[in-house]
Amino acid sequence: MRKALLALFTLFSLSTFAQSDDEKAVRATISQLFDGMRKADTTLFKAVFAPGASLQSVAKNKEGVISVRTEAIPGFVASVGKQKPGTLDERLSAYDVKIDAELALAWTPYVFYYNGQKSHCGVNAFTLVKINGFWKVQTIIDTRRREGCPDY
């Protein structure tokens, strides 16, 4: 009986925690983006974006008004390239990845550090598309807040 329960538990654990190759590749693409950001390596950083990719941020101003700001990817890449390595450090606490065919969505809570100091936190929502066998970031929309940010 113990052996049967152990075998059942092992099968359940493997199926629950196993990641598909596509999920691993999606995570690797997102990791490459943040590795490139930390290293201020624009070659590594910009390689993850699909043609026509976009970046948006949902934020609240001092008056409490919510807005969505759009930033062009070339400007985003250039701003990362102007930093010294280690200046930008976005730390993810988790990944929730959903995939259907050549479309993937990833939800990643984060805390952002600038020059080693906690700056803000929120969630990234990534849309990725599999192009020529590689997962590329098509859109990023994130939230940004300064209150209630955990340490990680």
pLDDT digits (tens, 9 = 90+) for 74-126: 999 999 999 999 999 999 999 999 999 999 999 999 999 999 999 999 999 99
Task: Look at the alpha carbons of 66, 67, 73, 75 in this order and tell me if their dihedral is positive or negative.
Answer: negative
- Number of domains comprising the chain: 1
| pLDDT band at 61; cut points 50, 70, 90 | confident
State the average pLDDT over residues 133-151.
95
Inside any domain, residue 6:
no
Amino acid at 55: L
Most distant pair of Cα atoms in the chain: their distance: 64
Residue 139 reports pLDDT greater than 70: yes
State the average pLDDT over residues 41-67.
94
Inside any domain, residue 71:
yes
pTM of the model: 0.85
Q: Hey, how many other C-beta atoms are within 10 angstroms of the C-beta on 131?
A: 12
Query: 27-50, pLDDT tens digit by residue?
Result: 999 999 999 999 999 999 999 999
Inside any domain, residue 151:
no
- Domain range for 31 is 19-143
Please report, for the domain that includes residue 66, its CATH number. Answer: 3.10.450.50
Q: Hey, how many other C-beta atoms are within 10 angstroms of the C-beta on 114?
A: 13
Inside any domain, residue 12:
no
Inside any domain, residue 3:
no
